[in-house]
């Protein structure tokens, strides 16, 4: 029977995806439709959904970086926003007849923004290392810590005395890291993640604590290691599949009462106020208008943590069970609203730029764009493997070159290797407006984000850069789009590598050679 439920979720998810809306709205809709036909969730569905939640929290734990929150704009703007939002939502809950403690829990839960939506949007644009992304993720981590507190307080009965032993878990981090490294990069690594998430979650549950908290702690224990991000990506699809069961189970709880629908409607009307509050608080903490606007669009949603922590709190009797389906509606509708807002972010900024920039404080802004390239004649954007190889090629010929990247970690690695690299967000119009490009003979776009390369090329031409723009791309359709945008030369390395390989295979010079390595950096 469960396979038919999953099939219905798949069909509705496909329909929603066709309209460029998050498929999870279809999963919730499938659950509600099944409830209307008298279907009840079973133990198998519950376990599938529970595993999905554990994997979600484990992947969130993998990205926990406590240093990310120790910034004024994160602790200040994020903290104040959390307090004000909680006060607003708590007041509304009290007006609807909820008791004080349940109202405070409801208020806190509604103050969160979606980590999943933010991470997906930032990753799809290749912006996870950008300043605005670091602020967004920092605020989300701050909210996640509050969610951990709620899970810990509402996760079950009285903790066992043996739960004190969990305080020693950080001592085994070196062993866990060694096991992660020894697992390699294939199926053993995936199995390692499953054992960590489900195993530690089960252990916490057995000791009277929240199993969800256990999964999050499991991720946090190995966060910061270079393979942690790789493990998170490997688990991403598996987590998404299991979460279908969770959303189906929530939908099977039924349709809310008229009073709950009115409550949900009012909370939805507060979403724009919640977003505007983000913008002005970030402005107050010295961010540029564009960065504040970008963070605001990223965080305009209600969170899956609202739904997950709300389900735990409802199961333990801290809040009414009927509120969970309200959380589900709010989360799904806010996801639907965030989809076009996120995809049209740059167009919206262009439309409102001149109205929003006056709110900017006249101070030195965090994440200030670079304005000088130090007299470089060549600029390489994107200092990954290809960009670094291009930089070294030019430097070996005593040419003046500067690299640019959006990822601070990558910048730091290149600086250690004696390359001159500066920070820059190539999708930021102010970068190209303020950057002195008079002495630059050519710009090479070696970043992997096609949209960013196309937009950067357009902005460079709009700002009267008439010299050469070279772009690295992998597909013919990307080549056409970049050429149309103004790039006068585009490299297709895989196609060129294939032609070179064929050329070498028929060259008498290499006949009988035992081995051959083609180095395109030279």
Q: Which of 9-18, 173-182, 344-353, 402-411 has the highest mean pLDDT?
A: 173-182
Confidence of residue 516 (pLDDT cuts 50, 70, 90): very low
Is the pLDDT reported for residue 150 higher than 80?
yes
**C-alpha–C-alpha distance, residues 390 and 404, integer Å:** 12
Q: Which of 66-70, 217-221, 338-342 has the highest mean pLDDT?
A: 217-221
Do residues 328 and 254 make contact, with C-beta atoms less than 8 angstroms apart?
no
- The pLDDT, as a whole number, for residue 137 is 83
Task: Tally Cβ neighbours within 10 Å of residue 135.
Answer: 27
Is the pLDDT reported for residue 512 higher than 60?
no
Answer yes or no: pTM beyond 0.95: no
Contacts of 83 (CB under 8 A, 6+ apart): none
**C-alpha–C-alpha distance, residues 54 and 213, integer Å:** 9
Is the pLDDT reported for residue 444 higher than 90?
yes
SS3 444: strand
Is the pLDDT reported for residue 227 higher than 60?
yes
- The pLDDT, as a whole number, for residue 178 is 93
Least reliable range by pLDDT among 74-78, 250-254, 414-418: 250-254
DSSP 92: H
- The pLDDT, as a whole number, for residue 521 is 44
**C-alpha–C-alpha distance, residues 429 and 520, integer Å:** 32
What is the separation of C-alpha 517 from the centre of its chain, rounded to a whole number of angstroms?
38
Least reliable range by pLDDT among 148-157, 184-193, 264-273, 416-425: 148-157
Q: Which of 8-12, 69-73, 146-150 has the highest mean pLDDT?
A: 8-12
Residue carrying the six token digits 């996870």: 128
Average pLDDT, stretch 261-272?
A: 94
Do residues 32 and 251 make contact, with C-beta atoms less than 8 angstroms apart?
yes
Confidence of residue 157 (pLDDT cuts 50, 70, 90): low
Residues in the chain: 522
Average pLDDT, stretch 307-325?
A: 87
Mean pLDDT of the chain: 85
Least reliable range by pLDDT among 44-53, 56-65, 172-181, 203-212: 56-65
DSSP character string of 43-74? HHHHHHHHHHHHHHHHHHHHT--GGGG-SIII
Average pLDDT, stretch 177-198?
A: 92
Record the tokens describing residue 158, joined without a space. Answer: 């009285």
Do residues 248 and 5 make contact, with C-beta atoms less than 8 angstroms apart?
yes
- The pLDDT, as a whole number, for residue 503 is 73
Do residues 400 and 376 make contact, with C-beta atoms less than 8 angstroms apart?
yes
Q: Is 350 exposed, middle or buried (0-12, 13-18, 19+ CB in 10 A)?
A: exposed
pLDDT in tens, 449-499: 888 888 899 999 988 899 999 988 877 778 888 999 999 878 777 777 777
Q: Is 315 exposed, middle or buried (0-12, 13-18, 19+ CB in 10 A)?
A: middle
**C-alpha–C-alpha distance, residues 251 and 256, integer Å:** 10
- The pLDDT, as a whole number, for residue 518 is 47
Domains of the chain: 47-359 (1.20.1530.20), 378-510 (3.40.50.720)
Average pLDDT, stretch 424-440?
A: 84
Average pLDDT, stretch 201-222?
A: 86
pLDDT in tens, 350-368: 889 889 989 988 777 666 6
Is the pLDDT reported for residue 63 higher than 80?
no
pLDDT in tens, 9-61: 899 989 988 887 778 788 888 888 888 888 877 788 888 888 988 998 888 78
pLDDT in tens, 359-403: 988 777 666 666 678 889 999 999 988 899 999 999 999 999 999
Record the tokens describing residue 189, joined without a space. Answer: 């690594």
Confidence of residue 522 (pLDDT cuts 50, 70, 90): very low
Share of the chain above pLDDT 70, in %: 92
Query: Which run of H or of E encompasses 236?
Result: helix 226-251
Higher pLDDT, 443 or 435: 443
Least reliable range by pLDDT among 294-303, 313-322, 511-520: 511-520
């Amino acid at each position: 029977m469960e396979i038919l439920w999953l099939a219905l979720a798949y069909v509705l998810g496909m329909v929603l995806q066709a309209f460029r809306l998050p498929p999870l709205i279809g999963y919730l809709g499938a659950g509600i439709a099944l409830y209307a036909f008298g279907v009840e969730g079973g133990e198998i569905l519950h376990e599938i959904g529970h595993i999905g939640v554990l994997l979600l929290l484990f992947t969130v734990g993998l990205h926990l970086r406590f240093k990310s929150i120790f910034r004024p704009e994160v602790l200040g703007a994020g903290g104040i926003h959390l307090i004000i939002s909680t006060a607003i939502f708590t007041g509304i809950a009290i007006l609807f007849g909820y008791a004080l403690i349940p109202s405070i829990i409801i208020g806190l839960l509604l103050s969160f923004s979606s980590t999943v939506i933010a991470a997906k949007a930032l990753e799809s644009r290749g912006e996870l290392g950008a300043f605005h992304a670091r602020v967004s993720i920092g605020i989300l981590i701050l909210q996640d810590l509050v969610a951990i507190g709620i899970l810990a307080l509402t996760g079950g009965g009285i903790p066992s005395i043996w739960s004190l032993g969990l305080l020693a878990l950080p001592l085994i981090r070196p062993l866990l890291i060694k096991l992660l490294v020894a697992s390699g990069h294939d199926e053993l690594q995936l199995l390692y993640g499953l054992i960590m998430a489900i195993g530690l979650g089960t252990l916490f549950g057995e000791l009277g604590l929240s199993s969800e908290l256990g999964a999050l702690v499991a991720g946090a224990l190995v966060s910061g290691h270079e393979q942690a991000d790789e493990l998170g990506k490997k688990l991403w699809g598996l987590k998404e599949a299991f979460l279908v069961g969770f959303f189906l189970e929530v939908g099977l709880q039924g349709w809310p009462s008229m009073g709950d629908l009115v409550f949900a409607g009012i909370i939805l009307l507060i979403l724009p106020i919640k977003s505007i509050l983000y913008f002005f608080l970030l402005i107050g903490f010295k961010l540029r208008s564009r960065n504040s606007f970008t963070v605001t669009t990223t965080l305009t949603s209600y969170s899956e943590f609202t739904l997950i922590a709300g389900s735990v709190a409802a199961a333990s009797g801290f809040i009414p069970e009927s509120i969970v389906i309200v959380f589900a509606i709010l989360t799904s509708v806010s996801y639907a609203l965030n989809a076009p807002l996120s995809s049209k972010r740059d167009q919206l900024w262009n439309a409102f730029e001149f109205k929003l920039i006056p709110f900017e404080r006249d101070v030195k802004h965090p994440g200030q764009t670079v304005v000088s390239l130090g007299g470089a004649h060549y600029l390489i954007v994107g200092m990954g493997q290809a960009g670094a190889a291009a930089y070294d090629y030019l430097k070996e010929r005593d040419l003046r070159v500067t690299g640019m990247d959006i990822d601070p970690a990558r910048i730091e690695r290149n600086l250690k290797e004696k390359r001159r690299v500066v920070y820059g967000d190539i999708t930021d119009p102010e970068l190209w407006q303020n950057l002195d490009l008079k002495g630059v003979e050519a710009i090479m776009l070696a970043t992997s984000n096609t949209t960013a390369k196309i937009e950067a090329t357009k902005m460079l031409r709009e700002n009267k850069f008439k010299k050469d723009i070279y772009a690295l791309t992998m597909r013919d359709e990307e080549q056409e789009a970049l050429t149309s945008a103004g790039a006068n030369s585009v490299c297709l390395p895989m196609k060129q590598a294939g032609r070179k390989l064929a050329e070498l295979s028929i060259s008498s010079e290499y006949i009988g050679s035992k081995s051959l390595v083609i180095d395109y950096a030279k």
